[in-house]
Amino acid sequence: MAVRIDGRKETVRLIGIDTPETVHPTKPVQCFGPEASAFTKSLLPEGTRLRVVRDAEARDAYERLLAYLYVVSEKNDDVFVNLELVRLGYARPFPFPPNTTHSDDFTQAAWEARNAGRGLWVTCS
């Protein structure tokens, strides 16, 4: 995913989660990938104001910015994008030390999503 920071386009890797593949050059489209992609696009339409929070490492081996993203709301109820994707069943937790600040939150959200039968937990085995 790409975001603009100080006028520069940055490719971002959401920390701590893994969504099903849809655009990988050597892998097929994975179960629930199109749904996860569509939901993410609906959550982050172009021009969405975001707060970008880093963890221990700034970038991955592909030079993507590693980030927790929050949709900024004027009502002060920012949406934590990484967590929302897991909570609704569009992503699985993917801890990647040392960037593990929210690992427990993601694990709990995945457990709840699985038990509630949300998203990929129902559709994909």
β-strands 17-18, 92-93 pairing: antiparallel
According to DSSP, the residues that pair with 5 across neighbouring strands are 8
Can 21 be counted among the known catalytic residues? Answer: yes
- Measured CA to CA, the distance from residue 1 to residue 14 in angstroms comes to 9
| Active-site hit among 10, 13, 112, 114 | 13
Can 84 be counted among the known catalytic residues? Answer: no
| Active-site hit among 10, 35, 59, 64 | 64
**Per residue in 24-56, is it b (16+ CB within 10 Å) or e — as a string?**
eeeeeebebbebbbebbeebbeeeeebeeeebe
Identity of the residue numbered 12: V
Can 118 be counted among the known catalytic residues? Answer: no
φ, ψ (nearest 5 deg) of residue 33: -65, -50
Q: Which residues are catalytic?
A: 13, 21, 64
